Structure 1
Amino acid sequence: MSHYGPRDAERLTSLGELIAETDATLRRGVPAGARVWPTGFRALDQALTGGIRSGELALIGGPHGQGKTTLAMQLARNVIASGGTAVVFSYEHEGHTLLERLISLEAATATLDGVPVTTVRRAFETAYDGAPLAELLSGLPGGPEALAALTSYGDRLSIHESSGATTTLAEIQRISHELAELQGQPPMIVVDYLQKVPLNAGYDDLQRVAAVTERLKDTALDLGAPVVAIAAAEGESLGAGRRMRAHDLRGSSSLAYEADVVLIISDKADIVSREHLVYDLGNAERFHAWSVVTLEKNRHGRDRLDLEFAKDFQHGRFDPDGRAVNERLIDDRVITS
Structure 2
Amino acid sequence: MSESRITSHRPQRRHSVRHLLDDTDEALRRGARPGAVVWPTGFDLLDSTLNGGLRSGELVLLGGTEGSGKTTLAVQMIRNAVAAGRTAVIFSFEHEAQTVVQRLLGLEAAHAAEASDQPVSTAADVHAFRSVFEAEDPHRAGLGEALGRLAYGRAALSMMDAYAERLHIHSSNSQTTIEEIAGTVAQIAEEAGEPPVVLVDYLQKVPRPGVQEDEITRVTIVTESLKDLAMELQCPVVAITAADRDSLGSGHRMRTKDLRGSSALAYEADVVLILSSKEHIVSREHLVYDLGAVKIYRRWSVITVEKNRHGTGSMELEVQKNFEHGRFYPKVRVVAERLIEERVFTT
TM-score, normalised to structure 1, is 0.95
Q: State how far apart, in whole Å, the 1-side matches of 2:30 and 2:254 are.
A: 46
- How many residue pairs match? The answer is 332
Match of 1:53 in 2: 55
Match of 1:119 in 2: 128
Q: State how far apart, in whole Å, the 2-side matches of 1:333 and 1:216 are.
A: 32
Match of 1:179 in 2: 188
CA contact (8 A) 2:321 2:327 kept: yes
Q: Residue 34 of structure 2 aligns to a residue in which SS?
A: coil
CA contact (8 A) 2:137 2:146 kept: no
Q: State how far apart, in whole Å, the 1-side matches of 2:344 and 2:297 are.
A: 15
Spell out structure 1 runs of 4+ moving beyond 4 A: none
Query: Quick one: which of 77, 80, 89 aligns to 2:79?
Result: 77
1:258-307 deviation line (CA, Å, top 9, x unaligned):
00111111000000000000111111110000000111110111111110
Query: Quick one: which of 245, 252, 271 aligns to 1:235?
Result: 245
Q: Residue 78 of structure 1 aligns to a residue in which SS?
A: helix
CA contact (8 A) 1:189 1:226 kept: yes
Residue ranges of structure 1 left out of the alignment (5+ in a row): none
Q: State how far apart, in whole Å, the 1-side matches of 2:331 and 2:282 are.
A: 20
1:39 aligns with 2:41: yes
Q: State how far apart, in whole Å, the 2-side matches of 1:96 and 1:11 are.
A: 40
Q: State how far apart, in whole Å, the 2-side matches of 1:295 and 1:332 are.
A: 17
CA contact (8 A) 2:227 2:268 kept: yes
After TM superposition, give the deviation of residue 16 of structure 1 in Å.
1.6
CA-based RMSD: 1.5
- Aligned counterparts, 1:1-337, within 5 A: 8=10, 11-111=13-113, 112=120, 113-129=122-138, 130-164=140-174, 166-200=175-209, 201-336=211-346
Q: Residue 291 of structure 1 aligns to a residue in which SS?
A: strand
Residue ranges of structure 2 left out of the alignment (5+ in a row): 1-6, 114-119
Q: State how far apart, in whole Å, the 2-side matches of 1:202 and 1:40 are.
A: 41
CA contact (8 A) 2:10 2:233 kept: no
Amino acid at match of 1:187: P
CA contact (8 A) 2:178 2:206 kept: yes
Amino acid at match of 1:234: D
CA pair 144-172 structure 1, distance change in 2 beyond 3 A: same
Amino acid at match of 1:84: R
After TM superposition, give the deviation of residue 7 of structure 1 in Å.
6.5
Q: Identity of paired residues, percent?
A: 53
After TM superposition, give the deviation of residue 123 of structure 1 in Å.
2.5
After TM superposition, give the deviation of residue 25 of structure 1 in Å.
1.2
Match of 2:117 in 1: none
CA contact (8 A) 1:246 1:252 kept: no
Q: Residue 330 of structure 2 aligns to a residue in which SS?
A: coil
After TM superposition, give the deviation of residue 176 of structure 1 in Å.
0.7
After TM superposition, give the deviation of residue 9 of structure 1 in Å.
6.2
Q: State how far apart, in whole Å, the 2-side matches of 1:278 and 1:324 are.
A: 22
Q: State how far apart, in whole Å, the 2-side matches of 1:97 and 1:22 are.
A: 43
Q: State how far apart, in whole Å, the 1-side matches of 2:314 and 2:262 are.
A: 17
Q: Residue 321 of structure 1 aligns to a residue in which SS?
A: strand
Match of 2:4 in 1: none
Q: State how far apart, in whole Å, the 2-side matches of 1:136 and 1:240 are.
A: 47
